[in-house]
Structure 1
Amino acid sequence: MAPTSETLTAERILEATEEVLRRHGPAKATVVDVARALGVSHGSVYRHFRTKAALREAVTKRWLDRTSGQLSGIAEADRVPEARLRDWLAALFAAKRRKAGEDPELFATYLVLTREAGTAVGEHITDLESQLTRIIQAGVDTGDFAATDAEASARAVFQATGRFHDPCHATEWEEPGAEADFAAVVDLLVQGLRRTP
């Protein structure tokens, strides 16, 4: 193993793990492969991540957190709640499509990893639903939305748009009409949330 001049950090390990997963896939990638890519012993990797499962969970969480971070700025923006809701849903759809289209090998790997990830996926969904709750509650506060329970409404919106962000639907995202279907669903949801005069 070639000695490494950079300090070994959890972030460097996660970056290398993504590359190893991209090359070998989740079934064949090992901690030894990650260590080899970093030029360190596998024991050095284990000092940061106690098990292979912990490493896989961390790399999955990192991947999911990128999407949550992008959406958080939209959720917190000082804009009309309806526009924020539309932009947030569009950004979620775009982020998932981009991940599936630009790096299909890694996306396929993450489909496997998210199925086995302990708490990362649940925490990600909770975070996304929390962002939606804040947007809907802002609409209730301004009188634009009529939801009586912002949290339940956020869960319903998230579930109703699942075809456009749940990775199990990835093959449908580039089909003709996907954009029009997405727009129709969002329009219907927004109409359902609006306070009627």
Structure 2
Amino acid sequence: MPPETLTPERILEATEEVLRRYGPAKATVVDVARALGVSHGSVYRHFRTKAALREAVTERWLNRTSEQLSAIVAAEGPAPERLDRWLTALFEAKRHKAGDDPELFATYMALIGESGGVVDRHVTDLEAQLATIIEAGVTEGAFRTPSPRTSARAVFNATGRFHDPCYAPEWSRPTITDDFEAVRELVLRGLTG
């Protein structure tokens, strides 16, 4: 049986496993190559540097959340309901990432510190998704705001405690769901008033 073709996606999958096993401080490109059964030069043909590989795996991790949320943006239904689902899905996605695999979450937190551009693009994408929902709400007559983009940024910032990874230690508190629901309700009321 011929060996599986080496693709960027296979490299990123292997990198994630290597990071999970060794952590960001000890994981090397050689470890990734070994896990794939190839030379480290083969990995470098797809990712020119270790930093580029680490940035790509971080971007892949963040894009999983963006893709899940974009389905809500594109869904049919009233904007207030979609905004409610979007905010809830963002909180749940981030909370699950932190709680389901705390070692990998800690690894990504370290990588995010190295990949500011990736994080900035992720935040810009999420704010654009929010703006799309809010613009739809304005068109429907459900939301009132002179600037959907400014409101999207404000909603993103107002709900930061429930999606910004720096707050991850709070996400396991018993009252966090009640706190989230209170903020979400306030945001939705603020856009409809």
TM-score, length basis structure 1: 0.96
Q: Is it true that 1:116 corresponds to 2:114 in the alignment?
A: yes
SS at match of 2:24: helix
Pick aligned residue for 1:54 from 34, 52, 59 = 52
Residues 24-56 of structure 1 show CA distances to partners (whole Å, capped at 9, x for unaligned) of 100110000000111111000000000000000
Paired letter, 2:4: E
Quote the residue 2:28 is aligned against.
30
Pick aligned residue for 1:19 from 17, 20, 27 = 17
Pick aligned residue for 1:84 from 75, 82, 85 = 82
Quote the residue 1:176 is aligned against.
174
Count of aligned pairs: 193
Pick aligned residue for 1:45 from 37, 43, 46 = 43
CA distance in 1, matches of 2:190, 2:154: 11
Residues 100-158 of structure 1 show CA distances to partners (whole Å, capped at 9, x for unaligned) of 11111110000011111142111111110000000000111111111110000000000
Identity of aligned residues (%): 67
SS at match of 2:5: coil
Runs of 4+, deviation exceeding 2 Å? none
Quote the residue 1:97 is aligned against.
95
SS at match of 1:28: coil
CA distance in 1, matches of 2:45, 2:57: 16
Paired letter, 2:144: A
Paired letter, 1:58: A
**Does the CA contact (< 8 Å) of 1:93 and 1:164 recur in 2?**
yes
Paired letter, 1:89: L
**Does the CA contact (< 8 Å) of 1:92 and 1:165 recur in 2?**
yes
User: Which ranges of structure 2 fall in alignment gaps of 5 or more residues?
Assistant: none
**Does the CA contact (< 8 Å) of 1:17 and 1:34 recur in 2?**
yes
**CA RMSD in angstroms, aligned pairs only:** 1.2
CA distance in 2, matches of 1:13, 1:105: 20
Equivalence map 1:105-144=2 (5 Å): 105-144=103-142
